[in-house]
A and B are shown apart, each in its own frame.
Chain A
Amino acid sequence: MHFVCCIKQVPDTAEVKIDPETNTLVRAGVESISNPYDMVALEEAVRLREKYGGRVTVISMGPPQTDSSLREALSMGADDAILLSDRAFAGADTLATSYTLSKAIERLCREMPVDLVLCGKQAIDGDTAQTGPGVATRLGYTQFTYVVEVEWIKPDLRQIQVRRAIEGGIEVLRGALPALLTVELELARPRRAPLTAMIRSLRAPITTWNAADIDAPAPRLGIKGSPTWVKNISSPPAREGGPRFDVQEGLERAVEQAVDLLFADEDFVSKLKTGWEA
């Protein structure tokens, strides 16, 4: 079995915000991390390889410093790492990104046929959840999104059965390989790499492919291949904190003042009293 895991290096988004006075992005001290959902996908890929045998290839598109995420993946058990890096890839939206990734996976297929692609359900910087389905569509692979469990794979029958989290419950779905999964956080807990593996990964070779290596024409890549553009950015409307009451001034009184304040909003109270039906 050949497992391919797509990962993305992202800014630790909880730290990114806009300075309200200058309306500019505050990114001082913001670290780059591997997208947490993708690390779950990688963990699952490594577990599946341990169970069914084969290889795990991890790929990532990004600037050269993305190699730190690829090394992290190698330390966690990936066999090979490929960095897709080219100026032509820059500024890609999800359409151009899924095109680039699918071209890279096509090339991997020529070296060793791919059975299963695993992606995180979304990246924490963009939260689009669109790249996985885009890659599956381009490659014509069976698509399974929001996967919470891989029940089994039958390599000889070319079948896989998974559990997906969807509206109102869990769907058990069976389909043909090759397939692409996008995974939920609860699927697996990424392992801590042993120190020796971390040290080994620092010296491991990482292959870099550019646009020519994956046989991808420039008009389909990066900014040129991206139909969506950012017009502007802004801060979400900020909340303002209201008063706080301390129980040191009397428990009953503090709670009463808080409840009074809450009940001052008649519209809110009427909804609360009617069980939110209005």
Chain B
Amino acid sequence: MAKNLKGIEVAEIIPDKCIACQICVGECPVGAIEITSDGVAHVDPAVCIGCGKCAESCPVDAVLFEKKKRKRLTKEQRGMPAEGLPGYQGVAVFIEVADGVGAPVSWELAGKARDLARKLGSKVLGFLLGSGVDDIAREAIAFGCDEVHIIDHPLLKSYLSVTYGKALTDLSEEIHPEILLIGATHLGRDLAGIVATSLRTGLTADCTGLAIEEETRLLLMTRPTFGGNIMATIFCERRRPQMSTVRPKVMKMPDKDLTRQGTIHHHDWSPPEGEIPVVVDFIKKVSETGSVDIVRSPALVVAGKGACDPASLSLLQELAGLVGGVVACSRPVVEAGLLPYERQVGQTGKTVAPKLYIGVGVSGAVQHLVAIQGAEKIIAINRDPNAPIFKVADVGIVGNYLEIVPELIKQLKKRI
């Protein structure tokens, strides 16, 4: 513990622990803390008054301050009722409608919401927007909702940010759920930001884990951050609902029980004022033109720099077809113009979690590896025995892919 010239015991930041979240910078009452050019917080000992607020607020215990180190402020001290916020009840799930049916991620969330509601002793609420969606409401009950709240309006026939944003905000303000979960699809992430901003509540993006902290009843939301290198657990104490978008295919799909009972409630709605955008056209993806969704494919054969050759593409496609998947690639292959950007796996491409990943000539740059962490089985084929991808691969084959892939196809054909 360091003392400054005035004899005050001052706080110090442990640079290796600091994540530069800047919370302490905002908490420091005397402005003694700055983020340095090294990207870590630094306390100016001449300014520090030794109050310890930085140590209390630091989420990663990076502040060295022991003299008066106190526990985190109690809820009463922070002006919070000890039992959470009164008047907010229920775990709500936004039921996304895709092509006239409930999106699978919504049912996964209904299943997870049941777990959370059981721990809280509350109900699962389905929030459903659309036009003529009663059938989907009944399905929502079968997947775990106790109540389904519907806004049925012709303007909600298809998704628009402004109409759905207002409708989901209106439903939340009327029903006051404690928690609101939304699938982290393009639609869900477009919508969630609007609703959280309108409700002035916290929103945690793209979560992969949800749990209830028993003593506080708070929702603990875990998500990958820093490009998937780090998992952060986030909570929202002061505002309701606690909102989260949740990554598809992470939560378990619940069983559908058509005998489950639940209630369906219709709500009146007034559309937003002002001009509403117009969907001029929708161009469906066609697989023949190379437009495939590599995120949804259960198996991927991924071409890397070492297999960036137009002549070998058909070979990789044959392997992909054999294992029931599609061909994807790493960034250099896109840059070479061999495959389109939508096939790119990596930090600036897509994050994937296939059942089977076969990397062909992929060396395994960090930016690529962070995006395949969720893969169930990884097979790596590379000429360089020291390629980093072998460190994460379940099984590796070292050698020329032009020999290995045909042999692999031959042997797999015998056994599949």
Contacts and interface: CB of A to CB of B under 8 A. Distances in A.
A223 B23 contact: yes
Contacts of A256: 411
B234 A229 contact: yes
Contacts of B122: none
B23 A236 contact: no
Given A241-B390, A247-B399, A258-B395, A230 B233 contact: yes
Contact of B392 (A27, A32, A241): A241
B25 A87 contact: yes
B84 to A, nearest CB: 14
A109 interface: no
Contacts of B196: 94-95, 130, 134
A273 B298 CA distance: 12
A11 B35 CA distance: 13
A233 B23 contact: no
Chain B interface main SS type: mixed
Interface stretch (A52-60, A73-81, A120-128, A200-208): A120-128
Contacts of A11: 20, 39, 226
A214 interface: no
A226 to B, nearest CB: 7
A247 B229 contact: no
B229 A13 contact: yes
A224 to B, nearest CB: 7
A259 B281 contact: no
B186 A90 contact: no
Contacts of A251: 399, 403-404, 407
A3 interface: no
Given A91-B26, A231-B235, A13 B187 contact: no
B131 interface: no
Interface residues of B, number: 117
A94 B195 CA distance: 13
Interface stretch (A41-49, A140-148, A191-199): A140-148
Interface string B154-166: 0000000110010
B231 A234 contact: yes
Interface in B199-235: 200-206, 220, 224-235
B280 A146 contact: no
Contacts of B400: 247
Contacts of A185: 341, 348
Which of A65, A131, A145, A230 has most chain B Cβ within 10 Å? A230
Contacts of A25: 16-19, 60, 230
A146 B193 CA distance: 14
B277 A176 contact: yes
A174 interface: yes
Which of B186, B194, B348 has most chain A Cβ within 10 Å? B186
A235 to B, nearest CB: 7
A268 B355 contact: yes
Contacts of B293: 168
B277 A174 contact: yes
Interface in A200-244: 222-224, 226-236, 239-244
Nearest to A133: B193
A93 interface: yes
Interface of A: 11, 13-19, 22, 24-27, 30, 32, 36, 63, 65, 87-95, 98, 124-134, 136-138, 142-146, 161, 165-176, 185-186, 222-224, 226-236, 239-248, 251-252, 254-256, 258-259, 261-263, 265, 268, 271-273, 275-276
23 contacts: A14-B229, A14-B365, A15-B366, A17-B226, A63-B35, A90-B35, A94-B196, A94-B203, A128-B203, A129-B206, A137-B198, A142-B162, A168-B285, A171-B282, A171-B283, A173-B278, A222-B26, A224-B26, A228-B203, A236-B228, A236-B230, A244-B397, A261-B395
* Shortest 6 CB-CB contacts between residues of A and residues of B: A133-B193, A247-B399, A244-B396, A175-B277, A227-B202, A223-B26
Interface of B: 14, 16-28, 31, 34-35, 37-40, 57, 59-60, 98-99, 161-162, 165, 185-187, 189-190, 192-194, 196-198, 200-206, 220, 224-239, 274-285, 293, 298-299, 323-324, 341-342, 347-348, 355-356, 365-367, 370, 373, 376-380, 385, 390-400, 403-404, 407-408, 411-412, 415-416
Given A127-B224, A235-B230, A239-B378, 13 more contacts: A131-B193, A133-B194, A137-B193, A142-B162, A143-B165, A171-B283, A173-B279, A232-B59, A236-B224, A236-B229, A236-B373, A265-B377, A272-B356
